[in-house]
Chain A
Amino acid sequence: MSVSKVEILREMEYAVTHIRERVLDEKARGHKVIGCLPILIPEELVHASGAFPVGIWGAERLPIVRAAEYYPPYACSVVQSITELAIAGAYDGLDGVLISCLCDTLKCVTQSFPLTCPSVKPIFVKHPQNHRLEGAVTYFIRELEGVRAQLETLTGRQITEEALCQSIEIYNENRKEMIAFARLLAEKPGLLTCRERHTVIKARYFMRKEEHTRLMRELNGMLRASTAPSFEGIKVYVSGVMLEPSHILDVMDELGYTIVGDELAHESRQFNHLVPEALSQLERLARQVQTYEGEAFLYDPRKTRGERVARAAKEAGADAVLFALMKFCDTDEYDLPWVRCAAQEADLPFLHLELEQTMQSAEPLRTRLQAFAEQLTHTC
């Protein structure tokens, strides 16, 4: 491993482990900081307002105590930990948050967040579920106009067409690098560990995209120049919401797994759709939502997610599909049997792991991953 690669990974690791420091640093520079909750947030608008967008997807292994005042134990752990952190004041330094309502739990978050974190301005992003219709594009443009106006008030800075166009280009550049990165790891499995891959992708949430893209260009250049290692472990394609708590990644690395592709909401689904061209910049953002197919959180009348996962897994050269099911995520719980079925029809062994972001130990998951690895080895 070259020193430069180590440095890049270290910088990204620093970004994901020093979020508070980064937020304070941005504030000290006079920048507003806007939190972006799951699932699909048009971050470009935040960027164009000059504010620093920071991802809010909860925290790992956080004991849930006070969130129980708002949510019963069968709310998903991402929302539980966001609520716990909000009550603890972890988000008090933010100037605003963007919250989508793409599932029933997130709809409730739009209402509970202002109660748990009253000092932070909430801005709601109401995506159209019926996203393919032209009426949905018109609707979403108007919704985004509202988001833009609220961000302008919050930051005191007008979001011009030019600024937004520039932000979209910056984000699209980052997406292109990320797509290339994911492909490189499929072409040369084992070049990075599961943990490193995750860190590279997660760092997007806590760095300015220009900064992240610069590092990605360097990293991708090195990966392209690297010889593919002779990898003899198990190549998996990962589906689901997120692959955290991250000690599961260490377990996967220990057991000889590598990730050759994913469609995690927390990871690839954040960058695998470029913002297309259109007549205005807001229309471009609205039409990006129109381009989604087989997206778990949007209406999919032909329910194509399973087939898409199987196809992508095959294309990535995966030996198996791993479904990381975030417990109590209804959206994924309805899709799980279909993804399993499609994977099996494509002769891809399938493992589903039930995760909670708040879980303290990965040991029960280790046993399952170990058994799956043994099963695959025997089959081979």
Chain B
Amino acid sequence: MDPCTTDTKTLLKQLTAQYYDDLNHAHERGQKVVWTNGLFPQEFFEAMDIQVAYPENLAATLGAKKGVMPYLEKCEALGYSSDLCSYTRIGLGYIESFDSDILNLPRPDMICNCTNICGLCVKWFECTAKRLDVPYILIDTPYQTEYGPTENDVDYIVSQFQELIRQLELLCGRPFNYKKFRQVLAISRRVAKSWKRATDYVQHSPSPLDGFNLFNYMFLAVVARGKSSTADFYDRLSEEMEEYLREHKSQFKGEQKHRIMWEGIACWPHLAQNYKCLKANDMIVVGGMYPVEWCVDYDQDDVRSLARAYAARPPIGSLTRQTDIRARIMEETRCDGALYHVNRSCKILTFLQAGLRRGIYERNHKPFATFDGDQTDPTTFSPAQFETRVQALRENMEAAKAERGGP
């Protein structure tokens, strides 16, 4: 298959299969396997030729493919509260048997976690490491109470990198490969730029890129941010979007009457219903946090820049910073409104959402609607509520446009 001409949908499938094949044969090849969260500085693992598995991705995939209930039930039977984040409940249930018919992960040799997405992962991975009896390493990126990360935060993170390197050397039984590390930094920066360039196609109106597809395209930006093949893939996506622009085509097959921002994690078990409902209401998703969140770019190829980039991830940003980022996204992607996922699982995103909605509305006066859901627990979602809220959003966007005298 020629990556220069193959369509991105096919290519993504191929690269995903390759990733899981590499991961699942890692131990046979004598490679170590680390479990981590999506925004951990993967550069260190790549430099040491460690295969990396992402339990969050496992949960999302099982959620999308209707395979979570046995693990949610198992987790509850272990005595964990059903109030906990569903990603973590699935993960804790899964490690009791490693037996999904849909997707499996190899057992970890080490677990690593970075606090730049959520604090619950600290506890989730603590429980996982204890249950599987493997070492557990933390990179703590402090919460950005004032706005963004401080130089003190960066110093602290760099000091933790030193400990991480020592632990990886112990795990692999060989010195850290600084030469490869520098190469990986350069590749990862290239991936960030390629991802950014590809996802920026949602800024066109009409958009050739269906923003909802970023839920799929982001996969490689999560699991393979340090690989050239990922940069090649996103370059290919940009080329494809150029072709679409030339031919006045779009991945979105409905009418692009309303451009919206989707706020929050996807509602994985209900993706198809969500998409159909939005399409039926002539809404295309063009705005979202994923293009920003997974664009882990640094100024230069040095460890302080790396630490600063990982410290600055939006989920741990102050309310003002998070409001700034989303208001800018809505402006750049020319959104007419926003749909907020009040995600039962994700406290760090949901608990700030009231302030966020208020702050963004005060700036752009764009209509918005909320719906209750959960990233992977299928029971915490009502299709009827979703439809009603989307319809209300559409009516409000139409009214706002009529008021402005637009179409």
Q: Does B120 contact A (CB under 8 A)?
A: yes
Chain B residue at minimum C-beta to C-beta distance from A336: B79
A111 touches B352 (CB 8 A): yes
**Chain B window 93-135, contacts with chain A (Cβ cutoff 8 Å), 1 for yes, 0 for no:** 0000000000000000000000100111011101101100001
**Which of chain A's residues 293-312 have a Cβ closer than 8 Å to chain B?**
299-303
Cα–Cα, bound, A129→B143 (Å): 11
Q: Which of A69, A107, A336 has the most CB of B within 10 A?
A: A107
Contact of B126 among A70, A111, A303 (CB under 8 A): A303
Chain B residue at minimum C-beta to C-beta distance from A122: B145
A301 touches B80 (CB 8 A): no
Binds A, one of B151-159, B194-202, B205-213, B281-289: B151-159
B84 touches A333 (CB 8 A): yes
Cα–Cα, bound, A72→B137 (Å): 32
Cα–Cα, bound, A303→B316 (Å): 24
Q: Does B85 contact A (CB under 8 A)?
A: yes
**Chain A window 129-167, contacts with chain B (Cβ cutoff 8 Å), 1 for yes, 0 for no:** 110011110110011000000000000000000000000
Contact of B156 among A112, A124, A139, A335 (CB under 8 A): A139
Binds B, one of A6-14, A97-105, A181-189, A249-257: A97-105
Q: Does B70 contact A (CB under 8 A)?
A: no
Residues of B within 8 A of A333 (CB): 80-81, 83-84
Cα–Cα, bound, A327→B121 (Å): 19
Chain A residue at minimum C-beta to C-beta distance from B82: A333
Binds A, one of B33-41, B234-242, B340-348: B340-348
Cα–Cα, bound, A340→B127 (Å): 14
Cα–Cα, bound, A135→B162 (Å): 10
Q: How far is the CB of B86 from chain A (nearest CB, A)?
A: 12
B354 touches A334 (CB 8 A): no
Q: Which of B152, B316, B318 has the most CB of A within 10 A?
A: B152
B79 touches A330 (CB 8 A): no
**Chain B window 10-25, contacts with chain A (Cβ cutoff 8 Å), 1 for yes, 0 for no:** 0000000000000000
Q: Does B146 contact A (CB under 8 A)?
A: yes
Q: Does A192 contact B (CB under 8 A)?
A: no
Chain A residue at minimum C-beta to C-beta distance from B316: A107
Q: Does A372 contact B (CB under 8 A)?
A: no
B146 touches A124 (CB 8 A): yes
A107 touches B123 (CB 8 A): no
B84 touches A334 (CB 8 A): yes
Residues of A within 8 A of B303 (CB): none
Q: Does A71 contact B (CB under 8 A)?
A: yes
Residues of A within 8 A of B135 (CB): 301
Cα–Cα, bound, A16→B344 (Å): 35
B347 touches A75 (CB 8 A): yes
Contact of B155 among A103, A129, A138 (CB under 8 A): A138
Number of A residues near B (Cβ < 8 Å) is 46
Residues of B within 8 A of A111 (CB): 145, 318-319, 352, 355
Residues of B within 8 A of A105 (CB): 347, 351
Cα–Cα, bound, A327→B82 (Å): 11
**Which of chain A's residues 325-345 have a Cβ closer than 8 Å to chain B?**
325, 327-328, 330-331, 333-338, 340
Cα–Cα, bound, A302→B159 (Å): 21
B130 touches A104 (CB 8 A): no
Also in contact, A107 and B348, with CB within 8 A (given A129-B138, A299-B138, A333-B80): yes
A135 touches B160 (CB 8 A): yes
Q: Does B386 contact A (CB under 8 A)?
A: no
Residues of B within 8 A of A103 (CB): 119
Contact of A139 among B139, B155, B318, B347 (CB under 8 A): B155
**Which of chain A's residues 109-129 have a Cβ closer than 8 Å to chain B?**
110-112, 115, 124, 126, 128-129
Cα–Cα, bound, A133→B140 (Å): 11
B143 touches A334 (CB 8 A): no
Residues of A within 8 A of B143 (CB): 101, 107, 110, 126
Chain A residue at minimum C-beta to C-beta distance from B322: A111
Q: How far is the CB of B224 from chain A (nearest CB, A)?
A: 27
A299 touches B140 (CB 8 A): yes
Cα–Cα, bound, A134→B163 (Å): 10
Cα–Cα, bound, A48→B210 (Å): 58
Chain A residue at minimum C-beta to C-beta distance from B359: A115
B351 touches A133 (CB 8 A): no
Also in contact, A130 and B138, with CB within 8 A (given A101-B143, A303-B126, A334-B124): yes
Q: Does B142 contact A (CB under 8 A)?
A: yes
Contact of A303 among B120, B129, B319, B342 (CB under 8 A): B129
Q: Does B381 contact A (CB under 8 A)?
A: no
Chain B residue at minimum C-beta to C-beta distance from A340: B79
Contact of B348 among A104, A115, A134, A335 (CB under 8 A): A104
Q: Does B78 contact A (CB under 8 A)?
A: yes
Cα–Cα, bound, A299→B143 (Å): 15
Cα–Cα, bound, A303→B129 (Å): 9
Residues of A within 8 A of B160 (CB): 130, 133, 135
B130 touches A303 (CB 8 A): yes
B126 touches A334 (CB 8 A): yes
Q: How far is the CB of A361 from chain B (nearest CB, A)?
A: 21
Cα–Cα, bound, A126→B123 (Å): 18
B84 touches A104 (CB 8 A): no
Q: How far is the CB of B147 from chain A (nearest CB, A)?
A: 11
Residues of A within 8 A of B347 (CB): 75, 104-105, 108, 330
Q: Does B71 contact A (CB under 8 A)?
A: no
Also in contact, A129 and B140, with CB within 8 A (given A104-B119, A111-B318, A143-B152): yes
A70 touches B355 (CB 8 A): yes
B130 touches A72 (CB 8 A): no
Cα–Cα, bound, A143→B160 (Å): 17
**Which of chain B's residues 299-331 have a Cβ closer than 8 Å to chain A?**
316, 318-319
A300 touches B126 (CB 8 A): yes
Cα–Cα, bound, A134→B129 (Å): 23
Cα–Cα, bound, A108→B122 (Å): 17
Q: Does B350 contact A (CB under 8 A)?
A: yes
B354 touches A330 (CB 8 A): no
Q: Does B268 contact A (CB under 8 A)?
A: no
B120 touches A104 (CB 8 A): yes
Contact of B159 among A104, A138, A300 (CB under 8 A): A138
**Which of chain A's residues 272-328 have a Cβ closer than 8 Å to chain B?**
299-303, 325, 327-328
B81 touches A299 (CB 8 A): no
A129 touches B355 (CB 8 A): no
A301 touches B138 (CB 8 A): yes
Cα–Cα, bound, A59→B139 (Å): 35
Cα–Cα, bound, A72→B373 (Å): 13
Also in contact, A142 and B152, with CB within 8 A (given A74-B344, A107-B143, A108-B348): yes
A327 touches B138 (CB 8 A): no
Question: Beyond the given A72-B351, A333-B83, could you list 4 further A-B residue pairs with CB under 8 A, ordered by the A residue number?
Answer: A107-B143, A126-B145, A130-B138, A301-B126
* Closest 5 A/B residue pairs (Cβ): A135-B159, A139-B156, A337-B79, A334-B123, A108-B351
**8 intermolecular pairs with C-beta atoms under 8 Å apart:** A104-B351, A110-B143, A124-B145, A133-B160, A303-B129, A334-B88, A334-B120, A336-B79
| Residues in B lying within 8 Å of A, measured CB to CB | 78-81, 83-85, 88, 115, 118-120, 122-124, 126-127, 129-130, 135-140, 142-143, 145-146, 152-153, 155-156, 158-160, 162-163, 316, 318-319, 342, 344, 347-348, 350-352, 354-355
